[in-house]
Copies of this chain bind each other. A is one copy, B any other.
Amino acid sequence: MEWYAPPSVRQEPPARQNPSALTRKLGQFMALSPCAVAALEALQVASREVPARTELVVQGRAHRHLSVLVRGAAIRYKLLPDGRRQIINFVVPGDFIGLHGCVFATASNSVMTLQKTVVAPFSCKAIVEIGQRSPMLAGIIFWLSSLEQTMLSERLVTLGRCSAYERLAYLFCELLERLQWAGLADERSFTFPLSQELLADALGLSTVHVNRTLTRLRRDGLVIIEGRTVTLPDPQALAMIANLEEGHLARCRPAAAALTQPPSPRSESAE
Which residues of chain A have a CB within 8 Å of any CB of chain B? 60, 63, 78, 80-82, 84-86, 88, 99-106, 108-109, 124-125, 128, 131-133, 135, 138-139, 142-143, 145-146, 148-150, 152-157, 159-162, 201, 203-204, 243, 245, 248, 251-259, 261, 264-266
Shortest CB distance A133–B (Å): 8
A161 proximity list for chain B (CB < 8 A): 80, 84-86, 204
Shortest CB distance A36–B (Å): 15
- Given known pairs A104-B254, A108-B251, A257-B124, the reply for A149 and B150 (CB within 8 Å) is no
- What are 14 A-to-B residue pairs whose CB atoms are below 8 Å? A60-B245, A78-B153, A101-B255, A102-B146, A103-B254, A104-B150, A105-B256, A108-B154, A124-B257, A125-B265, A128-B257, A142-B145, A145-B146, A160-B204
Interface of A is mostly: helix
This chain's copy number in the assembly: 2
Asked whether, in the complex, the Cβ of A100 is within 8 Å of the Cβ of B150, the reply is yes
Asked whether, in the complex, the Cβ of A252 is within 8 Å of the Cβ of B86, the reply is no
Cβ-defined partner of A266 (8 Å) among B99, B132, B203 = B132
Shortest CB distance A132–B (Å): 5
Asked whether, in the complex, the Cβ of B157 is within 8 Å of the Cβ of A88, the reply is yes
Asked whether, in the complex, the Cβ of A124 is within 8 Å of the Cβ of B258, the reply is yes
A81 vs B203: C-alpha distance when bound (angstroms): 20
- Given known pairs A104-B254, A146-B100, A254-B103, the reply for A261 and B84 (CB within 8 Å) is no
A149 proximity list for chain B (CB < 8 A): 100, 145, 148-149, 152
Closest to A76 in B: B153
Closest to A203 in B: B160
Closest to A30 in B: B103
- Given known pairs A80-B243, A153-B152, the reply for A103 and B160 (CB within 8 Å) is no
A82 vs B201: C-alpha distance when bound (angstroms): 26
Shortest CB distance A75–B (Å): 13
Asked whether, in the complex, the Cβ of B264 is within 8 Å of the Cβ of A104, the reply is no
A155 proximity list for chain B (CB < 8 A): 156
